[in-house]
Amino acid sequence: MSVDLSLIERSACEIVDLLREEAISPHDLLDTLAAQAARVEPRVNALPTLCFERAHAHADALLNKPVAERGLLCGLPVPIKDLTDVAGVRTTRGSLVYRDRIPETSDAGVTLLEARGGVVYAKSNTPEFGSGGHTYNGVFGVTRNPWDLSRSAGGSSGGAAAALASGTAWVAQGSDLAGSLRTPSAFCGVVGMRPTPGRVSYGPAANPYETMSVHGPMARNVTDVALLLDAMSGELACAPLSLGEPATSFLDHARSPRRPARVAFSEGLGIAAAEPEILAICRKAMDRLAACGVGVDESDIDLSTATQAFHTLRGISYAANYEEVLAQHRDVLNPDVIWNIEFGLRVDNPAMLAAQRTRSALFHKMNALLQRYDVLICPASIVLPFPVEARDVRDAAGWHFETYIDWLAITYALTLTGMPVIAIPCGMSASGLPVGIQIVGKPRGEAALLSAARAIEDAIGTWFAGRPQTA
């Protein structure tokens, strides 16, 4: 067993360089992650299912190849969200319905990631069917925030974000519908990217034409996110909307930061209001950008029509995917999941048509703004991480929310536009909790967005004080 806990502090790109130089092996990394998981997982619960035996076997297969044939990630370990199938590994989707499920085949996105040198060693925790902004379920329990174990890690990719923050991952795969890559990144002080639909493919999916839910990368910095995005991107035969690989890698774009000339800043996109401390921290970040010569303008963009459209389209998706599950297993489902499915089953044609028209209007509104600005910036969450005992947020900044997901409006409104969005840390609250911003790019503009986000990351500078108590 070769354990070197100092490797945990290295970036994913540095780790891949060491793998290519054969200064370390994938086995060293797996042993180190196993040791770190033994230290922190009893408290954090980010990676409830570990598959190190499978990972070491995959590492052996990689090491039988020449270094040049070990793929882009060259043996870098990657955890997979528990919504996504990994062959031979328990995959529960956070649901008691599937508590003992072990798929025989992997999702095509996982197969692609492994073909590019990723080594799967764990499944990250998620709420049931990824249904909320707080990671807890009846199978594995709650995932805790490494910065304060009494607080939520966000959701639904909360396990992935908490693993990154607590040192049990260098990069992580996740997914995003209402903000599931972005809210956990804000809560845990890491970076998460919601790509353009089709940029990261997966399947075979029940609805291969789905454009609301996407898979995407998470890491501790923008450059590492770009590395994983390269490894996840590409066409898949089972995904009819999948996009081809870019001519120039996303990593190359991230390594060539280009400071935006003009950015638009919105406090709440006309649909949300962030707590005052969060706004103050975000505005300090904008001040640092302005001090670097970036033109920062206040935006009056109004996405307030997104709420009903999002509920309608999300409900349709839940009904399509889980109507049969509801009929057979209602007694063990989370009440919020039941509400989601039943909402979708009640949607009529006029509501569906109205939602589609609203979504189109939101795209055109956002696209028009981004023709005048390089990026749009707004808070990534309207609240700080909340107590793990709470199921969701019902009141914030003087607003009351009717449903358990409406506190996520600042992220789900951007989902409807289809634009790529990246969430990065921008500061720390007085109570020692991370705060993040969302940066919105142009249509299919991941390359330029990553370059701008890297420059913004550099301009904001060191944002944290110390390390999480679990690291």
Residue type, 369: L
Residue 280 sits at the vertex; the CA angle it makes with 277 and 281, to the nearest 5 degrees, is: 90
265 bridge partner residues: 298, 377
- Model pLDDT, residue 470: 74
The pLDDT of residue 72 is above 90: yes
Listing from the earlier edge strand, what are the strands of the sheet with 119-124? Answer: 49-50, 119-124, 77-81
Average pLDDT in the 329-343 region? 97
Tens-place pLDDT, residues 141-198: 999 999 999 999 999 999 999 999 999 999 999 999 999 999 999 999 999 999 999 9
136 bridge partner residues: 142
Tens-place pLDDT, residues 273-332: 999 999 999 999 999 999 999 999 999 999 999 999 999 999 999 999 999 999 999 999
pTM of the model: 0.98
CA 59 from chain centre, in angstroms, equals 26
Q: Which domain holds residue 157?
A: 5-460
Backbone angles phi and psi of 454, in degrees to 5: -65, -40
The pLDDT of residue 203 is above 80: yes
Chain mean pLDDT for the chain: 97
Query: CB–CB of 430/110 below 8 Å?
Result: no
- Model pLDDT, residue 464: 52
Q: Is residue 105 part of a domain?
A: yes
- Model pLDDT, residue 462: 58
Residue 203 sits at the vertex; the CA angle it makes with 163 and 232, to the nearest 5 degrees, is: 50
Cβ neighbours for 281, distance < 8 A, ≥ 6 positions apart:
426, 427, 428, 429, 435
- Model pLDDT, residue 461: 80
Query: CB–CB of 213/176 below 8 Å?
Result: yes
Q: Is residue 466 part of a domain?
A: no
- Model pLDDT, residue 399: 95
The pLDDT of residue 469 is above 80: no
DSSP state of 439: E
DSSP state of 121: E
Sign of CA pseudo-dihedral 335, 215, 206, 317: positive
Q: How many domains does the chain have?
A: 1
How far is CA 344 from each of CA 267, 322, 352, 468, rounded to the nearest angstrom?
31, 10, 10, 40
The pLDDT of residue 430 is above 90: yes
CA 33 from chain centre, in angstroms, equals 21
Sign of CA pseudo-dihedral 256, 259, 261, 265: positive
Q: Strand 375-379 relative to strand 262-265: parallel, antiparallel, unpaired?
A: parallel
CA 298 from chain centre, in angstroms, equals 27
- Rounded to whole angstroms, the Cα distance separating 87 from 42 reads 25
The pLDDT of residue 465 is above 70: no
Residue 59 in tokens? 């590492």
Tens-place pLDDT, residues 231-266: 999 999 999 999 999 999 999 999 999 999 999 999
Backbone angles phi and psi of 158, in degrees to 5: -70, -35
> Which residue, among 261, 281, 317, 305, has the nearest Cα to 129 in the 3D structure?
317
Tens-place pLDDT, residues 119-149: 999 999 999 999 999 999 999 999 999 999 9
| CATH assignment at residue 41 | 3.90.1300.10
Q: Is residue 465 part of a domain?
A: no
Average pLDDT in the 6-25 region? 97
Average pLDDT in the 449-454 region? 98
Dihedral angle of Cα 424, 427, 433, 437, to the nearest 10 degrees: -40
Q: Is residue 470 part of a domain?
A: no
Backbone angles phi and psi of 406, in degrees to 5: -70, -15
399 bridge partner residues: 396
- Rounded to whole angstroms, the Cα distance separating 227 from 217 reads 9
Q: Is residue 468 part of a domain?
A: no
- Model pLDDT, residue 463: 53
CA 379 from chain centre, in angstroms, equals 15
Tens-place pLDDT, residues 96-109: 999 999 999 999 99
The pLDDT of residue 355 is above 60: yes
> Which residue, among 352, 403, 408, 7, has the nearest Cα to 194 in the 3D structure?
408
Q: Is residue 445 part of a domain?
A: yes
Q: Is residue 399 part of a domain?
A: yes
